[in-house]
Amino acid sequence: MIKIAPSILSADFAKLGAEIQDVEASGADYIHVDAMDGHFVPNLTIGPLIVEAIRPHTTLPLDVHLMLSNPDQYIEAFAKAGADIISVHVEACTHLHRTIQLIKQQGVKAGVVLNPATPVQSVVPILKDVDLVLQMSVNPGFGGQQFIEGVLGNISELAAYSKRDGYSFEIEVDGGVNTQTAKACLDAGATVLVAGSAIFGESDRRKAIQDIRHSQSGTQ
């Protein structure tokens, strides 16, 4: 079953609790939370205080994507705030194995993230340790960007490693995912699709989630 993770980056922040409850009632599987530090990426967004504030508004897993230059410094705070999955960028981690262990020590699931131009080879040694690999399909920092087709090869490569070595990590794709681009991601082997504007930008969130989820089979 394909999982859909609405990215609250495109939600109405003035009514975030209600927005999250709406996508949960509309069939979402995870709530995707984008934390940006204005340094690793050119934008500032969400910190642990917001994660703590939204935690009581949903029973869904909070899937927290850290776009931070120094993720180690904030992992404990995000875990205590209520994150269920914490993902860090391979490009930001000098000691990736140590950072992944730090996440696991907090009792939450650990993910590693690749930017569009980062080769899959850079995460192969850590694949056996992670619960999720997040392949960015835009350059991180902003919602509403255009899907970069060149990442499809990375998704297929990740799926091939998973199959070859019997791993069970999720393959998540984030950025420019909509009803036009979802099928190619799923065909390549994605198991979780993050979508911000394609869900929160629609008045019928249930239909938006269903359309993305079923884009592979064509059954809406």
Ligand X SMILES: O=C(CO)[C@H](O)[C@H](O)COP(=O)(O)O
Annotated binding site for a divalent metal cation: 32, 34, 65, 174
Positions in the binding site for ligand X (CB under 6 A) = 7, 9-10, 32, 34, 65, 138, 140-145, 174-177, 194-198
- Cβ proximity to ligand X, 50 vs 167, nearer residue: 50
Catalytic residues: 34, 174
Output the smallest distance, CB 182 to ligand X, in A. Answer: 11
Q: Which residue is nearest to ligand X (CB)?
A: 196
- Cβ proximity to ligand X, 99 vs 115, nearer residue: 115
Task: Say if CB 116 and CB 136 are below 8 A apart.
Answer: yes
Task: Say if CB 179 and CB 212 are below 8 A apart.
Answer: yes
Output the smallest distance, CB 43 to ligand X, in A. Answer: 8
Q: Which residues are annotated as a binding site?
A: 7, 32, 34, 65, 141-144, 174-176, 196-197
Output the smallest distance, CB 9 to ligand X, in A. Answer: 5
Task: Say if CB 37 and CB 60 are below 8 A apart.
Answer: no
- Cβ proximity to ligand X, 82 vs 176, nearer residue: 176
Nearest to 196 by CA among 18, 2, 30: 30
